[in-house]
Amino acid sequence: MSLTVVGSVAFDALETPFGKRDRVLGGAATHFGLSASFFTQVNAVGVVGGDFGDEEWAVFKRHAINTDDIEIVADGKTFFWQGRYDYDMNTAHTLDTQLNVFETFDPKLSDNSKKAEFLFLANILPMLQKGVREQMPDTKFVAMDTMNFWISSMKDAVVETIKVVDCIIINDAEARQLTEEPSIHRAAKKIMEMGPKAVVIKRGEYGATLFTKDGYFVVPAYPLESVFDPTGAGDTFAGGFMGYLASQGAVDDEVLRRTMVYGSVMASFNVEKFGTERVDALEYNEINERFKAFKTMTHFDDIPFERAVTA
Ligand code: AMP
């Protein structure tokens, strides 16, 4: 089954304690699309400027991502984001955001993109997310992301969008900010009361948690010794999650648990190099190997709990 993603396509300038890049391919739709492309056919919807070159298009092409709905504004510049990470790689410090052609982005979906059974609304203006969702009323499963900026500046609009999706994939700080609840369990419950059947709360290097009406499932992050650049890890997680889900068709608790593992597997690759470098060059056998490692890592034998201390 196919999957449509709407979101930013960008040039990023990145700085981590381990290196620096002045201009790499980035954007939420890019990281998401690359990751999902290992599992299903992806349509990307976005906008770029005339500065978006052959090298960048080649990345989408290598992964057979349909770019027909990435609009080109020839006399404009592509969205630019500059970020820095200190040793706490869970927190990005935004140094510069130049919206450029993204400022007037008005997603127009072709019939092909509209036909997709799965839809991911990456982090864009909540009203635009809702507009896209309305263009695809018959979609089987819709998930969304958002960010602290929208929650603080237009929370009502964020909630209106949450009401019309099946799943939301956000980080723990965003969940707390949205619901004004310190407990992520309560926060997830409150979000589900708004409409979604599933809530995924990402916690950076500590993994991610899935909440559904009847279930709770935690997946760790892969224990990497060196994290090089976490930019796009959240979108890469969402790409693995939605891509695998779309490849399965059925959405039930068991499939959702596996989607969580694939999300974590894909995110673990993304952080090993700058920008899209690692996922762009990824091989299927590497995904399978890491999936197996996750199975081993999270496998609990049925060891009964025994009293360690006796009176
Ligand atoms: P993540 O690290 O998964 O949250 O996503 C990082 C990507 O989001 C980067 O490649 C940026 O280009 C992109 N990005 C950063 N700020 C924004 C924004 N305000 N709107 C849309 N995309 C953004």
Q: What is the pLDDT of residue 65?
A: 98
Ligand 1 interacting residues, C-beta cut-off 6 A: 8, 10, 12, 26-28, 31, 81, 97, 123, 231-235
Query: Looking at ligand 1, which atom is closest to the CA of residue 81?
Result: 12
pTM: 0.95
DSSP state of 183: S
pLDDT mean over 240-244: 98
Q: How far is the CA of 37 from the centre of ligand 1 (A)?
A: 19
pLDDT mean over 69-88: 96
Distance between CA atoms of residues 291 and 267, nearest Å: 12
Q: What is the pLDDT of residue 215?
A: 86
Q: What is the pLDDT of residue 110?
A: 97
Distance between CA atoms of residues 11 and 77, nearest Å: 10
Digit-coded pLDDT (tens) for 275-285: 999 999 999 99
Q: What is the pLDDT of residue 87?
A: 86
Q: What is the pLDDT of residue 219?
A: 94
10: exposed, middle or buried (C-beta count within 10 Å: 0-12, 13-18, 19+)?
Answer: buried
Q: How far is the CA of 100 from the centre of ligand 1 (A)?
A: 14
Mutate to test the pocket of ligand 1, among 24, 231, 274 (most ligand atoms within 8 A of CB): 231
Of the pLDDT bands very low, low, confident and very high (cuts 50, 70, 90), residue 189 is very high
Q: How far is the CA of 56 from the centre of ligand 1 (A)?
A: 17
Q: What SS3 class is residue 262?
A: helix
Of all protein residues, whose CA lies closest to atom 16 belonging to ligand 1?
A: 81
Q: Is the Cβ–Cβ distance between 80 and 98 less than 8 Å?
A: yes
Q: What is the pLDDT of residue 84?
A: 96
